[in-house]
Amino acid sequence: MKDFTEKQNSLENQRFQITTVKNDLKCTNVQSITKDKINAIVYTYNKDGRLLAIYYNGRSKKAKQHYYYRTEEQRAERIEDYFKNLLSWVKRDEEAKIKIGNQKEEMINKIQVGTLLHGSWGYDQTNCELYQVVAKTSKCKVVIREVLQKVVKNSEGFDCCDVTPIKNSFIGEERSGTISAYGIKLNRCCTLSPTNETQKHYSSWYA
């Protein structure tokens, strides 16, 4: 806690120096304003009869905004709006984290040993990847292996068709994977999510 406090004090001193000393500002009446749960600070000061405010977010030494105002009321109102906007972003981030966490728990429960997985990738064609979970080594860690795919009858078109996975018809080597809120990332272009033996998946190619 001491180290954190010292670092925080050092950062605030640097910001204070930037606000009051840089470019020979000759400021007066310097004050700092913070709000609970918001990682930001606003310095207000006066110079040459003008009312100014300089805004910082997080641990950045670079100011986010730097304005002057006609009246104390206008400055106070803008500062209040600034913190309200930041608080709305904080709430959105918290809600998004909760949503992602819930989605991950759902995906963890869906993906068990024996679960079939599908993913696709490709720009001018659609390549289907079909896998099966062969082991679950921890809550989020699994071992997967590719399975054969079967062309759905009467689905063939011009360089395309629908395919389904064939359970327990393994090909290739085992590989490890990690369960996320969206499934299991196979590579940077493809994420696998649960499927079943009857669900059809579109596949296309160039002859």
- Looking at residue 32, its pLDDT comes to 85
Other beta carbons less than 10 A from residue 59's beta carbon? 10
- Looking at residue 1, its pLDDT comes to 39
Give one DSSP letter per residue of the chain, joined into a string: -HHHHHHHHHHHHHHHHHHHTGGG---EEEEEEEETTEEEEEEEEEETTEEEEEEEETT-SS-SEEEEESSHHHHHHHHHHHHHHHHHHHHHHHHHHHHHHHHHHHHHHH--TT-EEEEEE-SSSBEEEEEEEEEE-SSSEEEEEEEEEEEPTT--BTTEEEEEEEEEEE-S--EEEEEETTEEEEETTEEEEEE-TT--EEEE---
- Looking at residue 12, its pLDDT comes to 63
Residue pair 7/15 in contact (Cβ under 8 Å)? The answer is: no
**In order along the chain (207 residues), what is the average pLDDT of each group of 10 residues?**
47 59 64 87 87 88 88 95 93 94 97 97 92 97 97 93 96 95 94 97 86
Give one DSSP letter per residue of 168-189, joined into a string: EEE-S--EEEEEETTEEEEETT
Ramachandran region of residue 58, left (φ > 0), alpha (ψ -120 to 50) or beta? left
Q: How far is Cα 34 from Cα 40, in angstroms, rounded to an integer?
A: 6
- Looking at residue 195, its pLDDT comes to 97
Q: Is 121 exposed, middle or buried (0-12, 13-18, 19+ CB in 10 A)?
A: middle
- Looking at residue 189, its pLDDT comes to 92
- Looking at residue 63, its pLDDT comes to 84
- pTM flag (> 0.85): no
